Amino acid sequence: MPPAPPDPADTAWDVAIVGAGPAGAAIAITLAGLGRRVLLVEERVSTSFKLGESLAPASIGLVKHFLGDLEDPGRNLPVLFRTAGNVSLWATGQAEITDFFFTMTGFGLCVDRLAFDEALRSQAAAAGATLLRGARFQSCARIADGACNWQLLLASETRTHSCRARYLVDCSGRRAAVARTLGVPILDHYDGLFAYAQWFACAGNDDDRYTRIEAAPQGWWYSNRLPGAEGDETRRLVVWQSDKDLPEAKMAAHREGFDRLLRGSEHIGPLLQARGYRPCGVIRGAPANSQRLRDFCGDAWMAVGDAAQAYDPLSSQGIDKALRTGSHAGHMIHYALEDCPGGAEGLGGGNAHVRQYDEQQRRLWQEYVSKREYYYRMQPRWPDQPFWQRRRQDGPGEAGMLQP
Count the neighbouring beta carbons within 10 Å of the beta carbon of residue 125. 18
pLDDT-based confidence at residue 31 (cuts at 50, 70, 90): very high
Tally of residues, the chain: 404
94 within some domain = yes
Same domain, 83 and 219: yes
Q: Measured between alpha carbons, how far is 166 from 17 in angstroms, rounded to an integer?
A: 11
Domain count, the chain: 2
pLDDT of residue 1: 43
Residues 202, 281, single domain; the answer is yes
- Give the containing element (helix H, strand E) for 199: strand 193-203
Q: Are residues 200 and 88 in the same domain?
A: yes
Q: Give the CA dihedral 254, 260, 264, 268, nearest 10 degrees.
A: 60
Higher pLDDT residue, 43 or 53?
Answer: 43
Confidence of residue 229 (pLDDT cuts 50, 70, 90): low
Last residue of a domain, one of 238, 270, 287: 287
More confident residue, 22 or 317: 22
Which residues make beta-bridge pairs with 85?
99, 210
- Whichever domain contains 165, its CATH number is 3.50.50.60
Q: What band does 207 get if pLDDT is binned at 50, 70 and 90?
A: confident
Q: Percent of the chain scored above 70 by pLDDT?
A: 88
Is residue 281 over pLDDT 80?
A: yes
Q: Give 348-392 as a DSSP string.
A: STTSHHHHHHHHHHHHHHHHHHHHHHHHHHT--S-TTSHHHHHTT
Amino acid at 179: A
- 178/249 same-domain check: no
Name which of 171, 52, 161, 58 is nearest 113 in CA terms. Answer: 52
Residue 274: pLDDT band (50, 70, 90) is very high
Angstrom distance (rounded) from CA 195 to CA 77: 27
DSSP annotation string for 153-183: EEE-SS-EEEEEEEEEEE--GGG-HHHHHTT
Instruction: Specify whether 302 is located in the same domain as 366.
Output: yes
pLDDT band for 397, please (50, 70, 90 cuts).
Answer: very low
Question: Could you say which of 244, 263, 287 is where a domain stops?
Answer: 287
Looking at the fold, whether 360 and 268 belong to one and the same domain comes out as no
Q: Are residues 169 and 221 in the same domain?
A: no
Return d(Cα 244, Cα 232) in angstroms, integer: 36
Residue 253 and residue 183 share a domain: no
The CA distance from 341 to 362, in Å, is: 28
| pLDDT given at position 189 | 61
Residue 127 belongs to domain spanning: 8-50+115-189+293-377
**Which is more confident, 85 or 229?**
85
Classify strands 12-18 and 38-42 as parallel, antiparallel or unpaired: parallel
Q: Is residue 21, in this structure, part of any structural domain at all?
A: yes
Same domain, 100 and 124: no
- Give the other-Cβ count within 10 Å of 62's Cβ: 17
Q: Supply the CATH number for residue 242's domain.
A: 3.30.9.100
Final residue of a structural domain among 253, 268, 287: 287
Provide the H-helix boundaries in 47-112. Answer: 60-67
Do the domain assignments include residue 382?
A: no
The mean of the pLDDT values for the chain is 88
- Whether residue 399 lies inside any domain: the answer is no
Residue 93: Cβ-neighbour burial (10 angstroms; 0-12, 13-18, 19+)? exposed
β-bridge mates for residue 211, sequence order: 86
Residues 197 and 277 in one domain: yes
Task: Determine, yes or no, domain membership for 253.
Answer: yes
Pairwise CA distance, residues 367 & 45, whole Å: 36
In a domain, 158, yes or no: yes
Work out whether the CA dihedral 365, 371, 374, 375 comes out positive or negative.
negative
In a domain, 403, yes or no: no
Per-residue pLDDT tens for 108-118? 988 888 888 99
Q: Are residues 224 and 198 in the same domain?
A: yes
Residues 233 and 371 in one domain: no
Has residue 124 been placed in a domain? yes
